[in-house]
């Protein structure tokens, strides 16, 4: 066995932390830069102008849609009136045909003398 003196006594020394010579404080950088009054005013005016333009575009689109609807309604009325006009012209044409006029004249007791008829062209 070894004598106890022969065994080295190693003292465990605590680990020294390196301490800087001066104590610098870490400066936090601001996450945002403050706006000046001029920048805030420009930002507010620009926002208002953009909002106004957005509202005016939407209202113009609505007005355009209403005008298209009104135009479509007017075109449908025009087509309806034109169809009625064509029907009336056809009815006038049928009522004023020579054979019908001759039938009406015979029912009333009128006769037509072919020698007294003259065609006039405009």
Query: Which of 24-33, 76-85, 111-120 is modeled with the greatest confidence?
Result: 76-85
Q: Is residue 29 part of a domain?
A: no
DSSP letter for 21, please: S
> pLDDT per residue over 39-64, tens digit each?
999 999 999 999 999 999 999 999 99
Domain count, the chain: 1
Residue 90's domain comprises 41-111
In sequence order, what are the residues at sequence separation of 6 or more whose Cβ sits closer than 8 angstroms to the Cβ of residue 102? 112
pLDDT of 12 over the 70 cut = no
Percent of the chain with pLDDT over 70: 79
Q: Is residue 56 part of a domain?
A: yes
């Amino acid at each position: 066995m070894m004598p106890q003196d022969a065994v080295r006594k190693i003292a465990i020394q605590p680990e020294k932390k390196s301490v800087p010579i001066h104590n610098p404080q870490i400066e936090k950088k601001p996450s945002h830069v403050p706006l000046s009054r001029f920048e805030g005013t420009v930002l507010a005016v620009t926002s208002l102008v953009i909002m106004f333009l957005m509202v005016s575009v939407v209202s113009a689109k609505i007005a355009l849609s209403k005008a298209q609807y009104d135009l479509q309604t007017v075109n449908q009325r025009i087509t309806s009136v034109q169809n009625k006009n064509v029907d009336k012209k056809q009815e006038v044409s049928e009522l004023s045909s020579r054979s019908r006029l001759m039938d009406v004249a015979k029912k009333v007791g009128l006769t037509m003398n072919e020698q007294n008829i003259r065609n006039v062209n405009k």
